[in-house]
Structure 1
């Protein structure tokens, strides 16, 4: 196979795409609430990038959603000159709020985490730049719930320590600047509060300014839940873009509604075309589409970034999607990408950065934040891990994945495998896992004498371990069917472990938490475990 320079720039190392006729995205659009319109041409397979992971850029002037595969929910996007930055809800993963960078809206690469101290489960944030300074407004589920702000003079940091704004009754803040220069945080439920000129404290009380549009009673939704407001100024109007219907539950629930005002102070008038985005059938490629932002592309066209679940793959979490919009003659906007199952013409201009990142790791350096994250770490969790001699050394904690704060990756493909050489200390237990949260995970660990089978978030069978304190483990997840193999000779020969699993139920609608099923590794018991040569392959 020949790899050209453009492939290298996009991080593509495998495969091409099947031929498909060009698709006019406008023709694929349907009126709100109508039956699905047949797609005029079949969608090709995705191109393949690092470790065989799927890449949205088809390298023929089109792209195919997802924009970013795997759990990238509640996208917060910022246009900063020729650069675009985006981050996502990171929940209990730390370091969190990884900043992603693009110059063409289609190809993205991670820069680094903005949040390193555990302040709670991080929900939908607002990423802004004001007067030359970057801000992240961060809602957290904690005790009590609150909204924090951090700031930096450069997008790569250093970011400040979190400042608690003392807002305990709202989520999903959005920073906005009025026509009079005033700064505001718009909040869930149609509320807002004024910010001080420096953006680091509030002024006055929360006020209610908007009654969101209500869907018909016979629609299948999770709940009203007006949340995720995003404010954008365009053409003499302020637009408030809100999510309603609940973020999960029925695939037809989550949706995008719009209101507008000539002033940041209202009154806000609902779009007569609401909702502007909604999954209307479980046959569609993307479920629970919502939580949208608007952004202008390098060529002056406008786009909406939002999230959705892939049909049949709640386990992959809410993935980032890109949808073109057009402005109407009366000043509203309409999405034009249909159900996003077909390729869409890319915006013109900009320079492609290498898309995504390798998930394989030789542990030459410690890649916390951009690649690996701790789950629900303690303040001293970072002290547990180091790299040494091409090995990740992880000090033991707890007794199992449930209480050992495992290290996890975000993998966005429907099928993949990963394997690693693992060496434990006397009294230690370590292994590889597929992890949703501390109550729902599966995989395989071992101590000196026995394996430990992880299934349904509990520790089950403990057959004899013939390999001792060092072995290689491989986990294969083929569209929710999980197989486990072990090797005592560094992968030259493999033995299938006598426990297969099915994991399609390891997701939010079963467990809650808004997370995804993630590959990872853990170290429990006593001493340190050494992980070498971690290999990830999308299948």
Structure 2
């Protein structure tokens, strides 16, 4: 059952004209955000990390493209994962014990079933479940399950839900299991959670913002259901995921029963970027989670001001429960440091992106883009080298190996040796239609820009060289070395890549550093070094 906005006069909903006027005025007069009061701490490879080491943290919680966070509290452990789209192995599980410091464990999806969007990570009666929406032909929602968070995970089971995205598993007060879906819909699950029962039903009409706001579109999605005290709370994203920086937002509703009726939060929207001057844009897709010290927090994503190329990064916002049984977010625009929750064991945060290739870190670190079923067979490590069999002719059809880098400035380098007739190189890759980089065969370089080959100057280095790519706030340069990086010469091609992002190309991805091998034979990659600047 759904309560319509016509019931606002009864006090059940609070989205009437007076509130619309207030929020419109607030959006138009929002002050410009200040820069952070302090800089980030630095972790492996000089990458920024959230924990400042003084009892505070500074967002992003996880930098780089970590969108649509799905978080699970499992006793004293926290697990979180994100949309992995066309990257495989996909759905990497991250682990924390204090909500602030996170370590990757492993990727749980190895079979390419399509572009993975916002998942639901749950534990029910001792078993872990992941409900996985994919963009494919046709779109659908799958489920996998495991008795341990580290697997083995089952093969994907197709639930044949072709019209919805963003599932959220929920258990009712009567023990019934449900998937809540985009658009305010839901469908019942079987008792084992591995199939659906009956038909999709519409149960909730989300709160609507005033039509004077600059948004991408209504797009109610990403429902998250939490039971707290006597209430079920539903958080929903509206306004569109990207587009204008002021579009994406978080709204909430509650009900005494999983079956409704749902009443709107009187202060919707709870999170909303009001001005492009703020540090974080397009904030939305929130979940609630309880910290080790019993405080409450919201985890959601947002774009960093001016850095669409980094994708949607994971943010953490303190939550306060109010006497009327509602809650509010307290972090403002998240531009300033915030006191950490207390308790829990702090793990070492993040991971080095540099790689000596003693082992093959597929999933936790490296991902193939849109791989074939046998893609993993192309890669192996041997005597401190990544051996990658060539595929295709260029990055467009070579399924490159990519990393997620979360700093606005960085450089990476690698010693590369190619087989006769082969081509290899380093790239900045958004998708197969939009990338740039530098590769070489034994006689010529090949420059990539806008997803095309732009020039083939002569290569005097032969079949082995060390190549370095620098991305300094979207200004890209290349350097070459024949002595392993002791001396460098600059390659005569520079690029500007601020437009390599979703609002130009679509796809919800980020600009990722990586490497590729094309043509016949195998390429050897040694001593991959990454450093944030």
TM-score of the pair, normalised by structure 1: 0.93
Task: Report the counterpart of residue 153 of structure 1 in structure 2.
Answer: 147
Matched, 1:507 2:514: no
How big is the shift at 1:134? 0.2
Deviations 1:186-245 (A, max 9, x none): 000000000000000000000000001110000000000000000000121000100000
Aligned partners of 1:260 and 1:114: how far apart in 2?
33
Matched, 1:80 2:78: no
Aligned partners of 1:226 and 1:264: how far apart in 2?
19
Aligned partners of 1:438 and 1:144: how far apart in 2?
21
How big is the shift at 1:493? 1.1
Distance 1:32 1:187, change over 3 A: farther
Task: Report the counterpart of residue 50 of structure 1 in structure 2.
Answer: 44
How big is the shift at 1:349? 0.5
Distance 1:39 1:189, change over 3 A: closer
Task: Report the counterpart of residue 12 of structure 2 in structure 1.
Answer: none
Aligned partners of 2:230 and 2:158: how far apart in 1?
33
Aligned partners of 1:447 and 1:37: how far apart in 2?
53
Aligned partners of 2:48 and 2:37: how far apart in 1?
14
Task: Report the counterpart of residue 257 of structure 2 in structure 1.
Answer: 263
Contact 1:32–1:274 (Cα < 8 Å) also in 2: no
Deviations 1:316-342 (A, max 9, x none): 000000000101111111000010000
Contact 1:229–1:242 (Cα < 8 Å) also in 2: yes
Aligned partners of 2:340 and 2:316: how far apart in 1?
10
Contact 2:35–2:335 (Cα < 8 Å) also in 1: no
Task: Report the counterpart of residue 243 of structure 1 in structure 2.
Answer: 237
Matched, 1:396 2:424: no
Equivalent runs, 1:10-29 vs 2, <5 Å: none
Task: Report the counterpart of residue 381 of structure 2 in structure 1.
Answer: 387
Deviations 1:132-180 (A, max 9, x none): 0000000000000000000010001111000000100000000000000
Aligned partners of 1:327 and 1:35: how far apart in 2?
27
Contact 1:483–1:499 (Cα < 8 Å) also in 2: yes
Matched, 1:283 2:277: yes
TM-score of the pair, normalised by structure 2: 0.94
Matched, 1:62 2:53: no
Equivalent runs, 1:435-454 vs 2, <5 Å: 435-454=429-448
How big is the shift at 1:39? 6.9
Task: Report the counterpart of residue 135 of structure 2 in structure 1.
Answer: 141
Aligned residues: 509
Task: Report the counterpart of residue 18 of structure 1 in structure 2.
Answer: none
Equivalent runs, 1:122-521 vs 2, <5 Å: 122-521=116-515
How big is the shift at 1:518? 0.3
Deviations 1:398-438 (A, max 9, x none): 00000000000000001000000000000100000000000
3-state SS, counterpart of residue 310 of structure 2: strand
List runs of 5+ in structure 2 lacking aligned partners: 1-24
Deviations 1:455-508 (A, max 9, x none): 010011100001000000000000000010111111111110110000000000
Distance 1:177 1:34, change over 3 A: farther
Deviations 1:352-387 (A, max 9, x none): 001000000000000000000000000010110000
3-state SS, counterpart of residue 460 of structure 1: strand
The RMSD of aligned alpha carbons is: 1.1
Aligned partners of 1:68 and 1:438: how far apart in 2?
25
Task: Report the counterpart of residue 26 of structure 1 in structure 2.
Answer: none
3-state SS, counterpart of residue 237 of structure 2: strand
Deviations 1:30-68 (A, max 9, x none): x97474457799520100000000010000000000000
List runs of 5+ in structure 1 lacking aligned partners: 1-30
3-state SS, counterpart of residue 136 of structure 1: strand
